[in-house]
Amino acid sequence: MPYSELLQPINNFLQCETPQAWIDEAIKPENLNVLLIDHLICELKAAQSAMFLIRKYAVDKQSSDALLEWLKPFETLIYKREGNWQDLAAKNKLNKSVIPKSDSPYGQDLIDKMVMLIKEELHHFYQVLEIMDEYGVEYQSITPCRYAKGMLRHVKTYEPDALVDKLIVGAYIEARSCERFAKLAPHLDKRLGDFYISLLRSEARHYQDYLTLAQEIAGFDITERVAFFAEKERELIITSDTDFKFHSGVPN
């Protein structure tokens, strides 16, 4: 499937395109380091967010502990600067089956979709590390941008609406990532451009998985909440932003 076909539903889902001013800033050679480092962190955050949902809502303690152990070497590399990134390829596996809690109303579908998402995000994390190594980009700590926090501050505080909102937010983050990969790819060198295009299929599926789960779990029509978060996401993308990152707004 041509990637233009993959992008059509995403572009319909998002309420605005990435502004040209952000693209112009992103393709400046001096911004390559922060773009790759922030992309790396975004992949880890995506895996952590999916894992949080499974652990909070769907699995027993033994499965929860196994999930934490799976993620540990990736987090240790970033937060403690310990370990060899080249060893991570062999660690992207879940060694125990993940069992739903007996009293969980959300079932196996949430677990299956999120476990697949985590595997793919951690694989992308490793791929970004490979590219950083090739390009001589050294990891350094950077501040998170306002985007995810700006979305999550609107999540409701009671269940199941809180979970539904978190899933909708996850859909928007994945959809915007996909749209930005496609926007950037034609302006980058072949290695990085091809890599970003290769991510589109999985990112497109991730947004759909989040949205499907949100509707299945809600028990009510989520159209109004999707529209609400669409507007919040649009505002974050089209308004001025002093901090350039992968999901930042218009560069100030």
124-173 pLDDT, tens digit each: 999 999 999 999 999 999 999 999 999 999 999 999 999 999 999 999 99
The whole-number pLDDT of residue 106 equals 76
Distance (Å, whole) CA 207 – CA 212:
9
Cα–Cα distance list, 83 to 36, 51, 75, 79 (Å)? 20, 22, 10, 11
What end-to-end distance do the CA atoms of the chain give, in Å?
37
Q: Is the whole model's pTM more than 0.85, yes or no?
A: yes
pLDDT at 1 over 60: no
Taking only the tens place, the pLDDT of each residue in 12-66 is: 999 999 999 999 999 999 999 999 999 999 999 999 999 999 999 999 888 899 9
Distance (Å, whole) CA 10 – CA 204:
7
Distance (Å, whole) CA 109 – CA 237:
31
Distance (Å, whole) CA 202 – CA 175:
10
The whole-number pLDDT of residue 2 equals 65
**Mean of pLDDT over the chain:** 93
The mean pLDDT value for 68-87 works out to: 95
Q: What band does 4 get if pLDDT is binned at 50, 70 and 90?
A: confident
The whole-number pLDDT of residue 171 equals 97
DSSP 49-102: HHHHHHHHHTB-HHHHHHHHHHHHHHHIIIII--S-GGGGGGG----S---B-T
Distance (Å, whole) CA 12 – CA 19:
16
Beta pairing partners, 59: 100
Distance (Å, whole) CA 117 – CA 225:
23
